[in-house]
Amino acid sequence: MPGDEDLIKNVIAKYGTTLDLQKRPHELIDVLRNFKFDDSPDGGSLPGGVPEPPPGPTSMQFENVRLEEVMAQILQLSRDVAKSAKDIKKIKGRLAPAVNTPAAGTPEG
């Protein structure tokens, strides 16, 4: 592994003793890309090792739910749907005569 002095000598050999960033800003980028300044022994891993995986989802955790409670809710839902169906039929029944009656000012009315 080259030391700091070797690094400096290599950069000077390639780019000269002065980097003119106003005239040639790309040279700085070249230096940063092409020369290793700090070769960490860990290879660049995160400090502290590999992080723990995130916890699993919690939204699907249930308390003790009994089958009777689930069935009671399904029965209530079924009753609600049946009542809504009856209400819709009543509304359609009220609207049907108005829809089938010809409007005033039309040839039928």
Query: What confidence score (pLDDT) does residue 107 get?
Result: 61
Summarize pLDDT for 33-58 with one digit per residue, the tens. Answer: 887 666 555 555 656 667 788 877 66
d(CA 84, CA 63): 31
Q: How confident is the model at residue 81 (pLDDT cuts 50, 70, 90)?
A: very high
Query: What confidence score (pLDDT) does residue 75 get?
Result: 95
Q: Is the pLDDT of residue 19 over 90?
A: no
Is-contact 32 14, C-beta < 8 A? Answer: no
Give the residue-averaged pLDDT of 56-80: 81
| Averaged pLDDT of the chain | 78
Alpha-carbon distances of 76 from 19, 30, 70, 89, rounded to whole Å: 80, 72, 10, 20
